[in-house]
Structure 1
Amino acid sequence: MSKVILVTGPARSGKSEWAEDLAIQSGKPVTYVATAMEYPDDQEWQERIEKHKQRRPQDWLTVSAPIELTAIVSKAQPDSLILVDSLGTWVANFLDKDDLEWEKTSVDLLTVLPLAEADLVFVAEETGWGVVPAYPVGRKFRDRLGTLVRRLSAVCNTVYLVTGGYALDLSVLGVSLPSIKS
C-alpha cells in the first residue's frame, strides 16, 4: 500500500522545500507534478516557477498537470513517488467550474488515492488563516481549498504543518477531527 503525505502551511513557510526533502529521503524515483498554469506575460509568476525548477534534482521527471492531476495519480508506477505542488494552484484552475463539477473533480481525486501504487506527497497552502475574502471568487477558492485539504488529510498517513521554517508532524502531535464529506 502506498503512503500519502500532506505538507501544508502558509506562503513562504518552506512547505515545498520540506516536501522535496521528503521525496529525496524516500530514495524512490520522483515525478514532480506541477499544477500551475504558465503565463508567459506574467514575468513575476514565471520567475516563481523557475525558482521551483532550479531547486529540483535533475533526475526528477517533471509533469505539468494544471487539470489532469487525478489521471496522473491513478497511473503512477509502483516503487515511485509523486510530488504534487500544489493543491492551491490546482484548485484555482477550477474556479470557473460550478460546485457540482468541482465536487466531482475533488471526489475523483480522493477516490484514486487509496488505489495509487506510488507514494504521494501533496503540497497545499493554508488560506483560511486571515480575514474572509470580500469578493465571491476569493471565498470560493478559500472554501474549496480548505475543504479539500481537510478531506485529503483524513486519508493521509502523515500530515505536516510547515510554518516559520519548521515542519510539525500533525499526525503525531495533533488529534484528528472527524472527517467531512463536503
Structure 2
Amino acid sequence: MGKVILITGPARSGKSELAETLALESGKAVVYVATATENPNDQEWHQRIQQHQKRRPQDWVTLSVPVELSTTLADAKPNTCLLVDSLGTWVANLLEEDEISWENTLFELLETVEMVAADMIFVAEETGWGVVPAYPLGRTFRDRLGSLVRQLSRICEAVYLVTGGHVLNLSVLGSPLPAPKS
C-alpha cells in the first residue's frame, strides 16, 4: 500500500491547497482525480473549477471521475500520487444508490485503497458540525460522508484537519476511535 493521506475540514478552509502542496512534495507524477462534473448552465460552479485548475501545475494529469473511483485507484501506477478532490462530491454523485449498493461501493473503495501501491491524498468535507439536515437526502449525504471519512481515516498514514486557516495533524494530536461495531 502506498502512502495514504486524508485532509478534511469545512468549505473554503484550504483543504485542496494543502492537498496540492503535499502532492507536489511527494516528488511523484501527480494525477488529479476530479469527482466533480461541469455544468455549462452553472457559471459560478465553472469558476470554482477553473480556480482549482489554475493552481495546478501543467504537468499534472487530470481525470474526471464522478463515480468509478475504485476502478481509477486500482489502475494507478505505483510511482504516482493521486489527489482525489473531493469525497463529498463523490458521495453526492452516488446518493441515488440504495443502502446495500452504497455499502458495497464503500467496501470496494476501502478495500481498493488498501491494495493500491500509489500514494493517495483524499480531500473530504466535514458536514456534521451543524444542524441535522431537515430532509432525508441531506441526512443520507451527511451520514454516508461521515462514515466514509471515519473508515478511511483508519487506514491513512496521516489525517489533517484544515480549519480557520490552520492545519492540524490529527494523527499526531489524537488517536483513532475503535472500529464501529456492526
TM-score, length-normalised on structure 1? 0.98
| Contact 1:150 1:180 survives alignment (8 Å) | no
After superposition, the Cα gap between the structure-2 partners of 1:95 and 1:167, relative to the gap in structure 1 and judged at 3 Å, is same
In the alignment, which residue of structure 2 is the partner of 1:117? 117
For this pair of structures, how many residues does the alignment match? Answer: 182
What is the CA distance between 1:181 and its match in structure 2? 6.2
Find the residue that maps to 1:162 and give its secondary structure. Answer: strand
Instruction: Establish whether residue 77 from structure 1 lines up as the match of residue 77 from structure 2.
Output: yes
What is the CA distance between 1:97 and its match in structure 2? 1.1
Give the 5 Å matches for 1:4-153: 4-153=4-153
- 1:124-178 Cα offsets, whole Å, 9 max, x none, are 0000000000011100000000000000001111000001111111000012111
After superposition, the Cα gap between the structure-2 partners of 1:131 and 1:115, relative to the gap in structure 1 and judged at 3 Å, is same
Calculate percent identity across the aligned residue pairs: 64
Distance 2:40 2:113 in 1: 33
Unmatched runs of 5 consecutive residues or more in structure 1? none
| Contact 1:70 1:112 survives alignment (8 Å) | yes
Find the residue that maps to 1:134 and give its secondary structure. Answer: coil
TM-score, length-normalised on structure 2? 0.98
Structure 1 stretches of 4+ with a deviation exceeding 4 A read none
| Contact 1:151 1:181 survives alignment (8 Å) | no
What is the CA distance between 1:39 and its match in structure 2? 1.0
Root-mean-square deviation (Å): 1.0
